[in-house]
C-alpha cells in the first residue's frame, strides 16, 4: 500500500501547476526573500554582530510565515467553495484524505520552493566565518516542520472560510496568535502550569530549539502530530460539507 495515494499526488501536481501560473506565488516569494534579507542585514545588523551565526536570519521566518502562509493557502478551499467546485470534487472518486493531502502537498511544495530560494544567502556568507553546517541544516529542518504545521492549519481555516479574504484574515490572525503566544510567558509572571500550557500550543516556542541547532524529539513530535491533526480536522470539514 502506498503511503501517498496516486490520486493525491495527481491532484497535488495539478495544484502546483496552477500556483506556477499565479502572479501571487512570485509576489509572495519576492516578499519572503526581501523581508528576511532586510531584517537580517539591516535590523539584525549581521555585519556588526561579530558572530558566525544565522540564528537571527532563521528567527525571522516565523514572523514572515504569518503573512506568507495565508497567501498560499487562502485560495485552496475558499476559492473552491466560492466557485462551487468543491461539491464537484466531493462527487469524484477521491476520498477526503486524497483531496486534503493533494492540497497539502501542493502548498507545502510551493513553500519548499520558496525556502530553496533562500539557500544562496547562507552559502554566500559561509566564506566570511566558521559557520556550523549542522546547525544550518537543523534550522532548515525546523523551518520546514514549522511551515508544514502552519500550512496544514492554514488549509483548515481556508476550508472553514467562504472567500479568500476571510481565509487570509482568519489564517493571519490565528497564526499570529499561535506563533507569538509564548511571548506572554516572558512578559507576565504566570503560574508554571499555565506557562507550560501556553508554550505547548505555541508554534514559535517549539521552533526555538531548532533555531538553536538542536533537534528535540518533543518538538519534532509536536510538529508532526499537529500537522496530522489539522489535516484530519480538514477531512472532517469536507465530510460535513459532503453530507450537509
Residue 57, Cα to own-chain centre: how many angstroms?
17
pLDDT tens digits for range 226-244: 999 999 999 998 888 766 6
pLDDT exceeds 50 at position 17: yes
Is residue 21 one of the residues assigned to a domain?
A: yes
* pLDDT over 80 at 155, yes or no: yes
What would the mean pLDDT of 85-103 be, rounded to a whole number? Answer: 79
Confidence of residue 225 (pLDDT cuts 50, 70, 90): very high
- Residue 198: predicted pLDDT: 92
Position 1 scores a pLDDT of 41
Report the pLDDT averaged over residues 120-127: 86
205 near 199, Cβ under 8 Å?
Answer: yes
Q: What is the pLDDT of residues 28-66, one digit of tens each?
A: 889 998 988 888 887 677 767 777 788 888 888 999 999
On the question of pLDDT at 3 being above 80, the answer is no
pLDDT value at residue 243: 63
Q: Please, what is the angle between helix 61-83 and helix 133-159, to 10°?
A: 30
State the pLDDT confidence band at 81, using cuts at 50, 70 and 90.
confident
State the cell numbers at 225. Answer: 502530530
Distance CA 24, CA 55 (A): 28
* pTM (two decimals): 0.89
Domains held by the chain: number: 1
Rounded to the nearest integer, the mean pLDDT of the chain is: 86
Residue 118 lies in a domain: yes
Q: Is residue 125 situated within a structural domain? A: yes
Range of the domain at 107: 6-44+51-243
Q: For residue 107, tell me if it sits in a domain.
A: yes
Does 220 fall in a domain? Answer: yes
pLDDT tier at 12 (50, 70, 90 boundaries)? confident
Query: CA 135, 140, 141 angle in degrees (round to 5)?
Result: 95
The pLDDT of residue 180 is above 80: yes
Question: What is the average pLDDT across 186-199?
Answer: 90
230 within some domain: yes
1 within domain boundaries: no
Amino acid at each position: 500500500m502506498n503511503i501517498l495515494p496516486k490520486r493525491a499526488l495527481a491532484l497535488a501536481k495539478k495544484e502546483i501547476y496552477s500556483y506556477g501560473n499565479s502572479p501571487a506565488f512570485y509576489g509572495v516569494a519576492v516578499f519572503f526573500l526581501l523581508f528576511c534579507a532586510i531584517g537580517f542585514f539591516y535590523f539584525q545588523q549581521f555585519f556588526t554582530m561579530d558572530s558566525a551565526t544565522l540564528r537571527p536570519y532563521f528567527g525571522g521566518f516565523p514572523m514572515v510565515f504569518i503573512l506568507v502562509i495565508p497567501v498560499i493557502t487562502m485560495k485552496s478551499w475558499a476559492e473552491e467553495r466560492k466557485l462551487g467546485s468543491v461539491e464537484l470534487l466531493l462527487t469524484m472518486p477521491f476520498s477526503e484524505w486524497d483531496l486534503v493531502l493533494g492540497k497539502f502537498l501542493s502548498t507545502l511544495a510551493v513553500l519548499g520552493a520558496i525556502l530553496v530560494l533562500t539557500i544562496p544567502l547562507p552559502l554566500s556568507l559561509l566564506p566570511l566565518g566558521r559557520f556550523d553546517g549542522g546547525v544550518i541544516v537543523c534550522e532548515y529542518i525546523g523551518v520546514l516542520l514549522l511551515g508544514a504545521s502552519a500550512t496544514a492549519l492554514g488549509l483548515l481555516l481556508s476550508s472553514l472560510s467562504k472567500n479568500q479574504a476571510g481565509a487570509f484574515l482568519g489564517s493571519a490572525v490565528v497564526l499570529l496568535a499561535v506563533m507569538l503566544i509564548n511571548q506572554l510567558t516572558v512578559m507576565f509572571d504566570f503560574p508554571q502550569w499555565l506557562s507550560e500550557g501556553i508554550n505547548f500550543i505555541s508554534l514559535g516556542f517549539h521552533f526555538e530549539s531548532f533555531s538553536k541547532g538542536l533537534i528535540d524529539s518533543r518538538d519534532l513530535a509536536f510538529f508532526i502530530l499537529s500537522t496530522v491533526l489539522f489535516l484530519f480536522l480538514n477531512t472532517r470539514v469536507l465530510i460535513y460539507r459532503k453530507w450537509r
